């Protein structure tokens, strides 16, 4: 009887673990583990850098388009037609490799000790899951980062960052004051 109970418990634990691995919670946990353990390979398994850059590039193109439409350049270009800004996909591939190199450099530098833990990321996050998509909102004090995740080939990956949040966080934490 005890042997059957142990087998059932082991089977249930295995099914539960398999279910957990297929959730966005697990993916965010792995992203935190990659950061904390300074493991770029784990990080890029769960963060699609190229997709994020492509999406952020779209927001930059939209911003440029809106600026040209409402400025004197828009008045000049108006009669000429709409100005299209098109970046080749090779640009995003090259940029993603550069970003990954910079993240690797940051993670490998032992002086950078402010890396978050997996549990901290999970504690700060709210998840809204809808089939193979999830919106993750990470909040700490007044700071917030909204991420879009998508399940691809059985793995949840971050594929989008809210441009407004990204720009605000970069301005607050990465740029010198007044820039």
In a domain, 66, yes or no: yes
State the total domains in the chain: 1
Name the stretches of the chain with pLDDT < 50: 15-19, 63-64, 66-81, 83
Q: Is 14 part of any domain?
A: no
The predicted pLDDT at position 128 comes to 94
The reported pLDDT for the residue numbered 103 is: 82
Q: For the whole model, what pTM was predicted?
A: 0.70
Flag whether 155 is in a domain: yes
| Model confidence pLDDT, tens digit, residues 19-39 | 455 789 999 999 999 988 889
* Residue 167: inside a domain: yes
Does 9 fall in a domain? no
The 3-state secondary structure of the chain, one letter per residue: CHHHHHHHHHHHHHHHHHHHHCCHHHHHHHHHHHHHCCCHHHHHHHECHHHHHHHHHHHHHHHHHHHHHHCHHHHHHHHHCCCCCCCCHHHHHHHHHHHHHHHHHHHHCCCCCCCCCHHHHHHCEEEEEECCEEEEEEEECCEEEEEEEEEECCEEEEEEECHHHHHHHHHHHCCCCCC
Please indicate, yes or no, if residue 4 is contained in any of the structural domains: no
Domain hosting residue 72, numbered range? 22-173
Residue 107 belongs to some domain of the structure = yes
């Amino acid at each position: 009887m005890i042997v059957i109970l142990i087998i059932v418990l082991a089977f249930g634990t295995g099914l539960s673990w398999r279910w957990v691995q297929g959730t966005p919670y697990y993916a965010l946990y792995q992203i935190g583990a990659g950061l904390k353990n300074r493991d770029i390979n784990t990080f890029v398994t769960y963060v699609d850098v190229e997709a994020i850059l492509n999406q952020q590039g779209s927001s930059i193109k939209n911003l440029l388009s809106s600026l040209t439409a409402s400025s004197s350049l828009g008045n000049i270009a108006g009669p000429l037609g709409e100005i299209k800004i098109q970046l080749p996909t090779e640009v995003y591939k090259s940029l993603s490799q550069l970003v990954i190199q910079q993240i690797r450099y940051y993670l490998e530098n032992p002086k950078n000790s402010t890396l978050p833990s997996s549990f901290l990321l999970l504690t700060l996050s709210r998840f809204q899951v809808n089939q193979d998509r999830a919106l993750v909102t990470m909040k700490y004090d007044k700071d917030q980062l909204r991420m879009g995740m998508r399940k691809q080939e059985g793995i949840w990956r971050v594929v989008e960052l809210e441009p407004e949040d990204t720009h605000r966080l970069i301005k607050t934490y990465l740029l010198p004051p007044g820039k």
